[in-house]
Structure 1
Amino acid sequence: MSHVQTIAVAQISPKLGDVAANLTVHHRYIERAKEQGAQVVVFPELGLTGYLLQDLTLEVARRLDDPDIASIVEASSDIDIVFSFVEESSEHFFYISSVYASQGQVVHVHRKAYLPTYGMFDERRYVTQGSRVEPFTARESTAGMMICEDAWHVSMPYLLTMQGATALYVPASSPGRNVMDEHDFGSHTFWRQLLQMYAQLFGVHVVFANRVGYEDGVHFYGGSGVVGPDGRWIAQAGVGQEELLVARVDVRDVRRARYTTPLLRDERLEIMERHLPFIDRD
Structure 2
Amino acid sequence: MKVGLAQIRPHLGNVAKNIEIHKQIMKQAKEEGVELLIFPELSLMGYNLLDLTYDVACTVDSEEVQEIVSESKGIDIAFGIVERSPDHILYNSAIYASYGSIQSVHRKVYLPTYGMFDEARYFGRGEKIRAFDTKFGRVGMLVCEDMWHPSAPYLLAQDRAELLIVLANSPARGVHAKGLGTQDSWDLILTSQAQFYGMCIACTQRVGTEDGITFFGNSTAVDPFGDTLVQGPLFEESLVTFDLDLDMVRQARFTTPILRDENTDLVVRELTRIQQHRRGE
| TM above 0.5 | yes
Pairs aligned (count): 277
Q: Report the Cα distance in structure 2 between the residues aligned to 1:274 and 1:65, rounded to whole angstroms.
A: 40
What is residue 181 of structure 2 aligned with on the other side?
186
Scaled by the length of structure 2, what TM-score is found? 0.97
Scaled by the length of structure 1, what TM-score is found? 0.97
Q: Report the Cα distance in structure 1 between the residues aligned to 2:250 and 2:212, rounded to whole angstroms.
A: 44
Tell me by how many angstroms 1:54 deviates.
Answer: 0.7
Q: Report the Cα distance in structure 1 between the residues aligned to 2:187 and 2:120, rounded to whole angstroms.
A: 26
Tell me by how many angstroms 1:123 deviates.
Answer: 0.2
Tell me by how many angstroms 1:179 deviates.
Answer: 1.0
Q: Report the Cα distance in structure 2 between the residues aligned to 1:63 and 1:270, rounded to whole angstroms.
A: 38
What is residue 238 of structure 1 aligned with on the other side?
233
Q: Report the Cα distance in structure 1 between the residues aligned to 2:66 and 2:168, rounded to whole angstroms.
A: 22
SS at match of 1:146: strand
SS at match of 1:76: helix
Percentage of pairs with the same residue? 43
Within-5 A mapping of 1:148-159: 148-159=144-155
Tell me by how many angstroms 1:277 deviates.
Answer: 1.4
What is residue 195 of structure 1 aligned with on the other side?
190
The one-letter amino acid of 2:184's match is T
Q: Does 1:83 align with 2:79?
A: yes
Change (3 A) 1:281 1:191: farther
- Partner of residue 40 from structure 1, selected from 23, 36, 43: 36
Q: Report the Cα distance in structure 2 between the residues aligned to 1:207 and 1:23, rounded to whole angstroms.
A: 22
- Partner of residue 254 from structure 1, selected from 218, 230, 249: 249
Q: Report the Cα distance in structure 2 between the residues aligned to 1:184 and 1:220, rounded to whole angstroms.
A: 14
Q: Which runs of 5 or more structure 1 residues have no equivalent in the other structure?
A: none
Q: Does 1:56 align with 2:52?
A: yes
SS at match of 1:265: helix
Within-5 A mapping of 1:1-282: 5-181=1-177, 184-279=179-274, 280-281=277-278
Q: Report the Cα distance in structure 1 between the residues aligned to 2:268 and 2:25, rounded to whole angstroms.
A: 44
Tell me by how many angstroms 1:261 deviates.
Answer: 0.7
Q: Report the Cα distance in structure 2 between the residues aligned to 1:180 and 1:109, rounded to whole angstroms.
A: 37
The one-letter amino acid of 1:267's match is E
Tell me by how many angstroms 1:140 deviates.
Answer: 4.3
> Can you list the C-alpha shifts for 1:53-76, whole angstroms capped at 9, x where unaligned?
110011110111111100111000
The one-letter amino acid of 2:121's match is R
Q: Which runs of 5 or more structure 2 residues have no equivalent in the other structure?
A: none
**Two-structure CA RMSD over aligned residues (Å):** 0.9
SS at match of 2:258: coil
> Can you list the C-alpha shifts for 1:82-116, whole angstroms capped at 9, x where unaligned?
00010000000000000000000100000000000
Moved segments of 4+, more than 2 Å: none
